[in-house]
Structure 1
Amino acid sequence: MKLKKLLFSIIIFSVVISAGCSNSSWVSSFVVWDGYIYQISDEYVDKINEEIGEVTMYSDREGTYSGNFSNEYKKGTKYYSIEGISTDDAIAIKENDDKYRKAIRNGKYGE
């Protein structure tokens, strides 16, 4: 009887673990702009320049997506250049409360 309970517990545990693995998500928050991935930082910026783009697709599921994609910000969220900082280094993401969060470039998207 104990063996049946143990086997049943192992099967249930395996099913739960397998189901959890299929719903994978990213380790960090990011946006993609112009083919590059920008990791969201904890830093906010005050001096922004012009609007340079926006999120065209959002998903919280791992995968490879096209366009200005984000796993954190919803479609329509605006991207801005930052005064005194090249977009090769960082961009700003407008948040709902009129704050601009810095996102640091971290290489080509999809590589």
Structure 2
Amino acid sequence: MRINSKLFILVIIVSVITGCSNWKSADWAFNFVVWDEYIYKVSDDYIEAIDQEIGAVTKYSDRAGTYSGNFSNKYKKGTTYYSIKGISTDEAIAIQEEDGSYKKAIRDGKYGE
């Protein structure tokens, strides 16, 4: 009986540790970047007509929370944002991918609201 109770306690401890490690991970509904206090959903569309550099990711995290600055749940710190020729930044911006291509990110509203 004593071995069974030790095994039971061990199973409970492992279950708690495993469960706790998942509490902080976020299950984001979509990939996004934050620029100038607005959230932009990253689309599957690629952009060729970029204009000028407007900013960069200052904080990356896959953990739930609200962060300041140019935050992203997909792109690492230093990833560059660009304006798109002929499109207002109030509508969309371009995000430079690691391979040098640019993905369109569509403005979705104020970040944190």
TM bracket, shorter-chain basis: 0.7 to 0.9
Contact 1:26–1:61 (Cα < 8 Å) also in 2 = no
The count of residues paired between Structure 1 and Structure 2 equals 108
SS in 2 for 1:20: helix
The one-letter amino acid paired with 2:76 is K
Residue 96 of structure 1: how far off its partner (Å): 1.2
Residue 18 of structure 1: how far off its partner (Å): 5.6
Q: In the alignment, what sits opposite 1:60?
A: 62
Among residues 37, 43, 65, which one is paired with 2:45 in the alignment?
Answer: 43
The one-letter amino acid paired with 1:93 is I
Output the TM-score relative to the length of structure 2: 0.81
Residue 62 of structure 1: how far off its partner (Å): 1.1
Output the TM-score relative to the length of structure 1: 0.83
Q: Which residues of 2 match residues 65-84 of structure 1 at below 5 A?
A: 65-84=67-86
The one-letter amino acid paired with 2:83 is S
| 1:59-107 Cα distance to aligned partner (Å, 9 max, x none) | 1111000001111001110000001110000000001111000000000
Inter-partner Cα distance in structure 2 for 1:79 and 1:52: 6
**Runs (5+) with no aligned partner, structure 2:** none
Contact 2:24–2:63 (Cα < 8 Å) also in 1 = no
Contact 2:57–2:77 (Cα < 8 Å) also in 1 = yes
Matched, 1:95 2:83: no
Identity of counterpart residues, as a percentage?
65
SS in 1 for 2:53: strand
